[in-house]
Homo-oligomer: A and B are copies of this chain.
Amino acid sequence: MTDTPATPRRRGAARTEELLQVTLDLAAEVGYAGLSIEAVGRRAGVGKHTIYRRWPSMSALLLDALSRVWTSDLDYRDTGDVRADLREQFLRSGLALSSPPIGPVYRAVIAEAQADSMLRATLHERFLVTVEQSTLDRITRAQRTGELTAEANLEFAAEVLCGTLYYRSLLSTRPIDEDAVDGLLDMFMAAYGTSN
């Protein structure tokens, strides 16, 4: 009666990987509501301890799950046309932010962060600052090549650009479509562009 255990009980790193994937799958299917430690455990066929041994809270698990899918596609291209590069990247990350699995997981982290200022700080430094920094890098290069004016305060500009995208995708009900991105870039280039 020893039926073949197709998957022997996984442990250690393999379990960790699997749990992150289950979290992403669950988020994609049921969204933030219904995303709980018990739900992840049930779905993975895992005791709660197996999760709590790895992450101290749902928030920590969500942050790790988010890292798993957010790290790629973060860098801007550099074709020499800063407006085109920003446009492409904004549309890409706008789509990512509003689709599974990133969208629901991001929403979940933000919801929990509203009740937990430590988590808010972690979210900020681990994701938002990183995104702003890569934007800042790209427009700083454009400033050096003369595409943007020398007087521009690019730190604030990077925050305005990223902040507007996050505002629209997380608080607004409007989509991040081409019109939105073009409107945003119109303002940015009108302020700091040198070509017009």
Contact = CB atoms under 8 A, between A and B. Distances in A.
Contacts of A187: 152-153, 156-157, 160, 187-188, 191-192
A112 B111 contact: yes
A164 B171 contact: no
A31 interface: yes
A11 to B, nearest CB: 33
A171 B33 contact: no
B159 A168 contact: yes
Interface stretch (A12-20, A49-57, A118-126): A118-126
Number of copies: 2
Contact of A33 (B115, B156, B190, B192): B115
Contact of A163 (B115, B117, B163): B163
Interface in A63-100: none
Given A180-B156, A184-B156, A171 B115 contact: no
A173 interface: yes
Chain A contact patch, size range: 35 or more
A83 to B, nearest CB: 14
A191 B190 CA distance: 4
Q: Pick from A32, A110, A164 the residue with the most CB of B within 10 Å.
A: A164
Interface in A159-176: 159-160, 162-164, 166-168, 170-173
A159 B161 CA distance: 12
17 contacts: A31-B115, A108-B114, A110-B110, A111-B114, A111-B115, A117-B173, A120-B171, A124-B172, A153-B183, A156-B183, A157-B187, A160-B160, A160-B184, A163-B164, A164-B164, A187-B192, A190-B192
